[in-house]
Amino acid sequence: MSILYRSAFGLAQDIKAGKLSAVTVLEFYLDRVEQFNSAINAVVALDTDRALARAVAADKAVAENEDWGPLHGVPMTIKDAWCTEGLVTVGGIPEHKDFIPEKNAIAVQRLVDAGAIIFGKTNVPFMSADLQSFNEIYDVTNNPWNVERTCGGSSGGAAAALASGLTPLELGSDIGGSIRTPSHFNGVFGHKSSYELITKRGHLPPGDHVLSEPDLSCAGPLATCVDDLEQALALLAGPAPDITAHPLPALPTPSFRDASHLRVAVWADDDFCPVDTAIAEHIESAAKTLENLGAHVNRSARPSIDPQANHENYLQLLMSTIGGNTPDEVQQMAREIVAAADPDDRSEALLQMRGIAMDHKGWMVQNEIRQHTRVAWEAFFRDYDVLLCPCTHVPAFEHDHHPDMQARVISVNGVERPYTDVLKWAGLTLNAYLPATAVPLGTTADGLPVGMQISSRYLGDRTTLAVARLLETHHRAFVPPPGYND
């Protein structure tokens, strides 16, 4: 029976039915890692002995009619920003190269409690703070579609491992497109959940003992099919089980009954962040598919927000969160730069410094701006079920690890654009705490994957996933990179 690119939850059903052995499935993925990982460097740490022992126990449980849960005996990798008990967790941070957590992050534990077997970790950038996955400890992860290109970040190793068939399921995190951009670059599915729907407790950063949930940062699964996203989200959703967390209401059912009742807004390109022509064309093609299914599609509808102003607001809030993990001398340097700058300077570099230097009063000002944006989005989604827009504005680009991000540039339709533009479409929806499902749509003329994000109102996760399922069924399902479907 085939294992490669099977649904993780489908594999569990076959293991529990005795059609597959958990040991056989684990050995299959370990063999895949040995065969393919050297070219892409997606899986950076293995826990082979303990994983094999758990696989043996999973098979023994089946023989004794014990059901561990919906992921019974399924091996999987975990993004190396999540703490994994007994398995090194570096997070791209050199000082953590020997850090072995004493317990799993809560989200990881929920997968383990459902029967999953964690057999390895996948690569991330330093502190998960880049849209490319490379660090001093584990080096660079390549894109399986073209090793000269980035796999994205920060869940880049996760997406590359899925695309190349090294794992059937992954757990990502997203504060700047870190689930959606790698999904788009590698041609897989990913879901960035509504803010605080999945607890980040045990994520690095901020750290394994930090109780508070960082602003903006979200979590979610990556997979090769929508069914796995939906079932994984059901397992992962929920706050930390203690008095520091507040429960969220149950996720509502999709906001439309069938395609004929679906209201779709399309935002495929914009001057605030020009989009590669191939991406915009693929988004339009996906919108046409939904239209042909009976959906009501509007290509000019927009929320009553200024997208550039949203980006400036988001960037400062983002850097305020990231700045909380920086040394005091970095924050002092940022304050000095901001104090000496022109108050009207809206350059990317200075906006980042303003975020790092921000005091609580400044944060409250930016948060108030954000809340008005959230109200505007909520009003928009009274008229539309979903918005289709880019995950980011370009396909996977060539590796560029210049230490100064402001010195990096990306070519868009032959025009050089700032590297930090990679954050603009991701922040458009993330800043308002909205859910977004990344779906593959096809490839460019030179064979690079193209995806898009499907967003909806806060806690509308099941709506975005329902539209993703429509597109998976009627437009494009997962397609492996050439050479990996063996």
Residue 221 backbone dihedrals phi, psi, to 5 degrees = -85, 155
- pTM for the model: 0.98
Asked if pLDDT for residue 330 goes beyond 90, the answer is no
DSSP 128-192: G-SSS-EETTTEEPEETTEEEEE--SSSHHHHHHHHTTS-S-EEEEESSSTTHHHHHHHT-EEEE
The reported pLDDT for the residue numbered 249 is 81
The reported pLDDT for the residue numbered 326 is 80
CB–CB of 170/79 below 8 Å? yes
Q: How confident is the model at residue 250 (pLDDT cuts 50, 70, 90)?
A: confident
Q: 409-412 and 170-174 as β-strands: parallel, antiparallel, unpaired? A: unpaired
Using CA atoms in the order 448, 2, 161, 152, what is the torsion angle rounded to 10 degrees? 30
For residue 126, the 8-state DSSP code is G
Architecture of domain 8-236: Alpha-Beta Complex (3.90)
Q: Which residues contact 143 (CB under 8 A, 6 or more apart)?
A: 40, 149, 150, 151, 152, 160, 185, 186, 396
Q: How confident is the model at residue 244 (pLDDT cuts 50, 70, 90)?
A: confident
Indicate the length of the chain as a whole number: 486
Nearest to 31 by CA among 13, 64, 4: 4
User: Per-residue pLDDT averaged across 209-222, rounded?
Assistant: 95
User: Per-residue pLDDT averaged across 53-71, rounded?
Assistant: 98
Q: Which residues contact 388 (CB under 8 A, 6 or more apart)?
A: 264, 265, 266, 267, 268, 283, 286, 287, 452, 453, 454
- The torsion region of residue 273 among left (phi > 0), alpha (psi -120 to 50) and beta comes to beta
Asked if pLDDT for residue 444 goes beyond 80, the answer is yes
3-state secondary structure of 4: coil
Helix (H) or strand (E) holding 311: helix 307-323
The reported pLDDT for the residue numbered 248 is 82
Which alpha helices (H) appear in 222-268, and where do they start and end? Answer: 226-236
- Return the domain boundaries, the chain: 8-236, 309-369
162-184 pLDDT, tens digit each: 999 999 999 999 999 999 999 99
474-484 pLDDT, tens digit each: 999 999 999 99
User: Per-residue pLDDT averaged across 333-350, rounded?
Assistant: 93
- List Cα–Cα distances, 331 to 146, 325, 335, in angstroms: 38, 10, 6
Structure tokens at 389: 């827009």
Asked if pLDDT for residue 418 goes beyond 90, the answer is yes
108-165 pLDDT, tens digit each: 999 999 999 999 999 999 999 999 999 999 999 999 999 999 999 999 999 999 999 9
Asked if pLDDT for residue 419 goes beyond 80, the answer is yes
Asked if pLDDT for residue 75 goes beyond 90, the answer is yes
Rounded CA separation 88/86 (Å): 7
Rounded CA separation 367/373 (Å): 10
- Whose tokens are 């605030």? That residue is 272
> What percent of the chain has pLDDT above 70?
100
The reported pLDDT for the residue numbered 246 is 77
**Cα distance between the two ends of the chain:** 14
Rounded CA separation 268/275 (Å): 8
Q: Which residues contact 263 (CB under 8 A, 6 or more apart)?
A: 256, 295, 296, 298, 383, 384, 385, 386
Q: How confident is the model at residue 273 (pLDDT cuts 50, 70, 90)?
A: very high
DSSP 468-480: HHHHHHHT----P
The reported pLDDT for the residue numbered 245 is 73
Structure tokens at 290: 């939904």
3-state secondary structure of 285: helix
